[in-house]
Structure formats: structure tokens, C-alpha cells
Structure 1
Amino acid sequence: MLLTVRFWLAFMMVLTLGAQAPALELTVLHINDSHSFLDDTAERLLPGGTPVTARLGGWARLARAVEEERDAGRADNRSVALFHAGDAVQGDLYFTRYGGRPEMELLDRLGFEAMVLGNHEFDRGGAFLARMLGFARLPVLGANVDASGVPELAGRITPFVVLDFNGESVGVVGLSLRDTPVLSSPGPGLSFSDEAAAARSAVAELERAGVNKIILLTHVGLARDMELAATVPGVDLIVGGHSHSLLGDAEALAGLGLTADNAYPVLVAGPDGDPVYVVTAWKWARVLGRFDVSFDKSGRITAAQGRPLLLVGDVFEASGADGERETLTGRAREDILALVNRNPAAAVVPADAQIDAFLKPYRDGVAAMRQETVGRASADLPHIRVPDMDVTGRGLHGGSLIAPLVARSMLERLAATGGPADMALINAGSVRHGLEQGGITVGMIHTMLPFGNTIVVVELTGAQVVRALENGVGRGGGAFPYVSGMRFKADMNRPEGSRISDVALVGVGGAAIPLDPARTYRVATNAYVARGGDGYAVMQEASNATDTGFVDALVFLGFVAGTKVLDPPTTTGVTYIPVR
């Protein structure tokens, strides 16, 4: 259970009053779910209420921040450890082009103590994983991963590692997601057991060896981390990943236009009554988590505090008078820099020149890849937000001809990885433009789907699906819903709440099965819609939500490469009756 603020304050007072000189003062630095985003990524921020587009993260910036933390640790006589909590790969073109090599090399170059295997490390099977891990030397953890059926992985995955800091031992246990076979494609020879059982076994083995300071390095998601904290004895700290949770001071993050999912750290009462600390660091190497902890000789925590840091670049863009983006300069830029640097949740961090130089040849290769043709469109595939007609006057009464194909690519990817969804629903605004007849390049796909949206599977009742459709057609514009695996009719002449009818699942052969309002369905959507964007608040009522980590642009890229020729859909699944 979560500890109350009163319990925590009382606990800290006891520690402070009774504290002796600590046996170990340790700073834990951590990232997770970097997903091959080796360069910085764009994000809309609101420092001081001013909307700007900033560049966040990037491994060159991360390297500089890590080095500054290590320098501070040396000055304060603190030990510093750096961990990766899984899903280092799969998400950007670096992985598509190089198969994980630069990601693995960077783990060593930045001096990570260990990483745990995320579900996306297994996307191409065990033999591929073994080859990829050959580019790194750091310990790779997975206490609940049985790789005995993959000879190439022999000896490469270990349940835990014991790290020595000034004569004090710290055990680090790795736990991967037991649902990995559903969310990824590990293939034969790999199996995944219950995380809690594996954790108890590994912790017990460490304790028998005399290790009394134990960290779980996990890739199971924040909710499951909290369950582990409450049920597995002997654990002091959990450093997690998978759920892309943004933890931190809610007020400070709100000052940047961001929403905190929880505090940093999350405090959970362990089975022995002592607090267990749970931390995680958002996604894409945008945040460097920092948690300071002091242990006495018995392994008991005597002090703890933490602060995750949003890594921000020094270039900002804003919309000009003509609506086009322009780079801020002069006083406008200085004002934004000051606002960011005054915010305790963020810092403007320069890039490390050596890591930037290391990345340059890889970056050049990715730039060349963007020019590669991966397929062609047999006809124009225009995109409009609301059914009407395109700029040429061509009637598009079923709406966009490209958005339903994007939704279809999501369904096919999920089916291929063993976690199929019943239907897909995306917002029109997630697709920026259509495709003209002719060749389709990698770059075209990435400008068409530029937001880095991951695919999220939510579980909704049929009635909730109808509410989602009602929201989309009612708001119109970028919120308008496009679908695959289903159909619906929207009559805009009817009263709000009754505009949607004829909602049905549609199979491969075209057979339609009416939606059951009481039945629960698996709905694929993008991360923006899943978190309630464009007014899709009903998505946040989902009984379950799983972020697959698959990025929409890369999924569609694979769809185009596999299909070779994109034909216009025979139906968009949308019957739209505008206001008369």
C-alpha cells in the first residue's frame, strides 16, 4: 500500500534523529524506455504559460548530465551507479537501420552498471538478441527469463549482479515482463516466469550470500512495481520501466505544461512495514532519474531523496504571426531559458561533444535511409480530417483514404506479435498529410506520422467505444475518428449522444458483427488518444491499458514495405451524414 505523508514524515524524523554515519551513500541514476531515440525529440512545453516547442533528451545531452552527476558525486564522496530499465531499442530509425548496435555501444560508453531486458529487446527473437548484446559488455539481467533454449544467449543473461561500492555490496536483480511473449516476438527457446516468484528467489539467494542492500531493476510497469514493493521482502529500491510513467513534483512539471503520473519516488509499505522506494524516468532518455540513498551497515536505509531531471536543449520554436514555426532568438529565447532553468524539474543541458561525434556516422546513415523508397501508392491517398472533399474537389464522403490504412497497419502489427486487438481507432490529427500516387519513401512516412505516437491497447466496453466515437465526430477536426476492423455511421443531424449508429466489427471477409454494448473489446489506438487527448476522456476509463512501445510511423513503414503497393481502401468504415 502507498505510505501516507504523515507516516513518511514521521519515518524520516526517526531516521534523522537516530542516524549514524552511513556505511554507503549511493546516487542511483537511471533511464528506461529509450527506444532507439538517440537524438533529441520535440515536445511542446508551456514554461511560464508560453507555448514553445523544445528539444528534449538525446544521448549526447544525457552523457553530459551523467558526467556532471558523477563529478558531483566525487566532490561529495558519494558512489554513483547508472542503470537502464529496459527497452533500449525499437522505436526510431536507428534500430531499423543498425539493429541495435549504436544503442548497445552507448550503454558501455556512458558506463551503465547494468540493464534489464525489456519486452522490445526480444522483438526479433533470441538469436538476434544475442548478436545485438555482442556489441555491449555490461551485465544484462533477467531473473525470470529462461534462455536455455537459445544457445547463442548462453551465459549472457544473469539473474542478478552484485556491485561493490567502497567495500559495500549492492545486489541488483533484473525482472522482465512476464507478458513478453504477448507483447513481443521472442520465439522458441525463451520463456518468462512470474516476476514476484523470481524476485523472492533471487533476493533470498543474495541474502544468503550476505548482501543486505538490494535493488530490483525491472521492466514491468509502475503498477506492477508497486505490487512487487508491497509483496517481496528484502527489497530497498525498485528502478523500473515499461509504463513510460512521468514521476516528479506535480507543481513543477505543471509549470512546464507536463502532467506528473505520480510523485518521485513513489513510497510503498513493504511486507516488513518499512518503505520501499519506486522510481522510473518517463521515456526516450528525456529524463535522467536521480535517487540519493544512504545505508547503514545492516542494510537499512537511513536517508533518501530524489529528483528526476528533464533534459532540455537551448533551441526553442514558437508559432509566428503567419502561423509558421520560427526559432526564438534574443530576449524571447533568454526568457524561456531562464524559465526552464528556474524550474526544479528541468535543466538546459548542453550536448557532450564526444558522444555527438560518435553518433555522426550513424546519424548520416539514418538521414540517407529517409530517402529510400519502400513501396508505392497505386493512386492518390488523400487525407482530410472530416469526411467531405479534398483540395481538388474530389468527394471523400467516407473521409481520409490514408488514415484507415494507418489504423489497419496497427491491427496487423498487433496480430503478428501475438497480442491482437478487435479494432483500431485513431484521431485524424495524428496523420498530417496523405500520399500521392507513386513512390513512398521512409521520409514521407515520418513526416506523415511525425509525433512518435506509440500504439496503446485499451480495453473498453462496446458502450464506451460508442462514446469515444461520439466524442470524435462531435469535436470534429483533428479529433475525428478513423478506424479499422469496424464500421460506424455518424448522422450529424441527430442530437448529441445519439449521432452514432450501425457500429459493428468487420472481419477480413467483410462480415459484420454488431457491437455488444456490454462486451469488453481490445481497442488499438495511439498514445495521444489513450491518455485522453482530443477529448477522448473515455479512454482513461479503460479497464486495462497496455503501451506496446511500437511507434506508429515504424509500424506503418513495415506495413508499406510488406505490402509493396498501397491501394485505396474499398471502404473507410465511416458513413458520414453532414448537417443539412
Structure 2
Amino acid sequence: MERRIFLQKSLVVGSGLAISPGLLSFPKVPEYADKITILHTNDTHSNIETFPENHAKYPNQGGVARRHALLKRIRKEEKNVLLFDAGDIFQGTPYFNKFHGELEMKLMSQMRYDCATMGNHDFDIGLEGFKNAYQHGDFPFVCSNYDFTNTELKDVTKEYQIFEKGPFKVGVFGLGVGLEGLVAKTNYGDTVFQEPIPIANRIAKHLRFEEECDLVICLSHLGYKPKQFKDNDQTLAAETENIDLIIGGHTHTFLPKPEVHQNKIGEKVLINQVGWAGLALGRIDFFLGEKKKHKCHELVLV
């Protein structure tokens, strides 16, 4: 059965929390199309409360309670919803210093996150500290290019995760930034960093053709721009295939809308990143429809 993926994007801001892109209006989509809504965050950095009203840049913005309310509203309106995070859940407020990641894991579980990947700051309490905090999480972590075989995190994280929502089969994997020089050796121990692009090509191909996923999503904590990091989301998009969406993190980049890039064989791949601190919730709606004569997956802006 050949399928074609349609994408919708737009923007909404309300109640001090932005959806980027959210929903202003629906363009006309084919009658045969089914929809799945992908929601995402990155670099929340232990920000639990709303920013104070006297904050110089983000007064009365953000906060877990507002995000939770927004998620409940979207899930009430949409039947096929997945929620992801692209890393750096830890570090940045006294809540992390006091509770060492336990609170963040509990709150993400209550908000019903489906999957996350690890950022460099998620190593800040060491591997054993992360493992202890993760006892309070009930969602998987996908860390595809970190080899934890000889560490406390062996068998704790996964290479990829597959979700089935309505007619959709969605494969998700995660890529982390190089740790040497960025994270203290004592905090990552015998973790082996593997080059992300070969890993991404292998896993995406497996998810697309062996697992027959309709959507392949990468949770990336590599960073946004080539000038910032050798391994980054734009290079990842250009040098891989079979990925539909790269959900980015690490550089705290606020993208006003998802960017459309071309992969190594000229097909479209999306990149999105929504800043930091939980100030924005990313939203992308995909439409899946039957196309008997269509032989490949393609993202089409409608």
C-alpha cells in the first residue's frame, strides 16, 4: 500500500505559551486524508514555573501548568497525537539542584510525553543520577548514537521506538551531540559517541522499509546551524534519506515555522526547533492518504 504524506503548518499564540507552528486555519486537504498531530519541546532546562511578570524578556510566559492545559486541549480536539522532547530536560533552575531530575520526569510523565532523547545537560548528574531520576519517568528515551553498553545505562535507553496511532505507524530515533569537551568525563563515563549521520541513515532506512513506518522522525540534540557545530540538523537533513521530520534542540533556536530542506536524494525533510525553557510548544499536522500510483513517501505543503 503506497501512501502520501501531506503537511499542514501555521502559528498560534495564547495564554503566555506559543504553539509553533500552531493552527490559524486549515487549508483544504484531500477527503481521503487521515491526520496525526506531532507536538514537541526542546531544552526545557528544568523550567517549571511561569516566568515572573518582571522578567526582562519573557514576562508571564511559559510554565508547565500552561503547557499541560494546552496539551489537554489539543488532545481533546485531535484523536492522533504524539508528544516528543529533543533533550536538555535538566539543569537551569533550583528545582533541578534540589530534586536532581525527579520532578522533571514526574511532570513529563503527567503530561504524557511519548518519547524523548538525551541532551548534554541530561548528563549533569552523571549516568547513575540520570538512571535514578528516570525511575520516575514512564516514557522511553531513544539515544541512537550513544553506546551505553559498558555503563549504568545499558538497556535503559532504546535505539528507536515505534508508535501506532490510528492508521499511522511512526518510527522515532534520537541523536546526541559529541560529549568530549562538552560534558565532564566523569559524568558520561564509558559512553561511546558514534558519528550521527551513518547511524541516522541506517536506522531511518530500517524504520522506513523493514518496519514500514509512514513517518520517520529524528529527535536531534545536534544543534541547528552548520557554523555552530560540525554535526547539525541542516547537515543531517542534507546527508541522509528516509527522514520526514527532524525535531531539533541544543541551540535554543526559535524557528517561526518548520523549515523545508532537501535530503541527499532530493526529497523533502522538515526541521523544527522551538527555543528553550518550555516557552513554545511545536505543532506539525501530517495528513496521510492513499495514492495507488505513488511509489515513495513525500512531504507536500498544502
Distance 1:18 1:126, change over 3 A: closer
Q: Give the letter for the 1:161 counterpart.
A: Q
Higher relative contact order (CA 8 A, sep 6+): 2
The 8 Å contact of residues 212 and 299 in structure 1, kept in 2 or not, is answered as no
| Whole-angstrom distance in 2 between the partners of 1:155 and 1:138 | 14
- Using the TM superposition, give the Cα deviation of residue 168 of structure 1 relative to its aligned residue in structure 2, in angstroms: 2.4
Q: Is 1:62 equivalent to 2:67 in the alignment?
A: yes
Aligned to 1:218: 220
Q: Is 1:103 equivalent to 2:100 in the alignment?
A: no
Q: Give the letter for the 2:135 counterpart.
A: G
- Using the TM superposition, give the Cα deviation of residue 40 of structure 1 relative to its aligned residue in structure 2, in angstroms: 1.4
For residue 174 of structure 2, give the secondary structure of its aligned residue in structure 1: strand
TM-score (norm 1): 0.43
| Whole-angstrom distance in 2 between the partners of 1:167 and 1:174 | 23
For residue 54 of structure 1, give the secondary structure of its aligned residue in structure 2: coil
| Whole-angstrom distance in 1 between the partners of 2:188 and 2:284 | 36
> What are the within-5 Å matches in structure 2 for residues 291-330 of structure 1?
291-296=284-289, 300-301=297-298, 303-304=300-301
Aligned to 1:174: 174
Distance 1:302 1:194, change over 3 A: closer
For residue 46 of structure 2, give the secondary structure of its aligned residue in structure 1: coil
Aligned to 2:10: none
> What are the within-5 Å matches in structure 2 for residues 89-238 of structure 1?
89-150=90-151, 152-177=152-177, 179-185=178-184, 186-206=187-207, 207-223=209-225, 224-238=232-246
Unaligned runs of 5+ in 1: 1-15, 46-52, 249-263, 306-580
| Whole-angstrom distance in 1 between the partners of 2:197 and 2:139 | 24
The 8 Å contact of residues 268 and 298 in structure 2, kept in 1 or not, is answered as no
- Using the TM superposition, give the Cα deviation of residue 303 of structure 1 relative to its aligned residue in structure 2, in angstroms: 4.8
Aligned to 2:20: none
The 8 Å contact of residues 295 and 303 in structure 1, kept in 2 or not, is answered as no
- Using the TM superposition, give the Cα deviation of residue 272 of structure 1 relative to its aligned residue in structure 2, in angstroms: 2.3
Distance 1:20 1:129, change over 3 A: same
- Using the TM superposition, give the Cα deviation of residue 180 of structure 1 relative to its aligned residue in structure 2, in angstroms: 2.0
The 8 Å contact of residues 293 and 303 in structure 1, kept in 2 or not, is answered as no
| Whole-angstrom distance in 2 between the partners of 1:39 and 1:17 | 38
Distance 1:17 1:65, change over 3 A: closer
Identity %: 26
Structure number having the greater helix percentage? 1
| Whole-angstrom distance in 2 between the partners of 1:213 and 1:267 | 16
Q: Give the letter for the 2:71 counterpart.
A: V
Q: 2:269 aligns with which of 269, 276, 281?
A: 276
- Using the TM superposition, give the Cα deviation of residue 65 of structure 1 relative to its aligned residue in structure 2, in angstroms: 1.1
| Whole-angstrom distance in 1 between the partners of 2:31 and 2:159 | 33
TM-score (norm 2): 0.81
Aligned to 1:73: 78
Q: Give the letter for the 1:183 counterpart.
A: L
Q: Which has the larger radius of gyration?
A: 1
What are the superposed Cα offsets for residues 216-248 of structure 1, whole Å, 9 maximum, x if unpaired? Answer: 111111121111111111011111111100111
| Whole-angstrom distance in 1 between the partners of 2:60 and 2:154 | 40
Q: Is 1:26 equivalent to 2:25 in the alignment?
A: no
Q: Give the letter for the 1:139 counterpart.
A: P
| Whole-angstrom distance in 2 between the partners of 1:198 and 1:218 | 12
Across the two proteins, how many residue pairs are aligned to each other? Answer: 261
| Whole-angstrom distance in 1 between the partners of 2:159 and 2:296 | 21
Unaligned runs of 5+ in 2: 1-26, 226-231
Q: 1:244 aligns with which of 252, 256, 277?
A: 252
| Whole-angstrom distance in 1 between the partners of 2:188 and 2:29 | 53
Q: Is 1:290 equivalent to 2:287 in the alignment?
A: no
The 8 Å contact of residues 168 and 214 in structure 2, kept in 1 or not, is answered as no
The 8 Å contact of residues 294 and 302 in structure 1, kept in 2 or not, is answered as no
| Whole-angstrom distance in 2 between the partners of 1:149 and 1:212 | 34
* RMSD of Structure 2 on Structure 1 (CA): 2.1
For residue 153 of structure 1, give the secondary structure of its aligned residue in structure 2: coil
Distance 1:81 1:299, change over 3 A: farther
For residue 81 of structure 2, give the secondary structure of its aligned residue in structure 1: strand
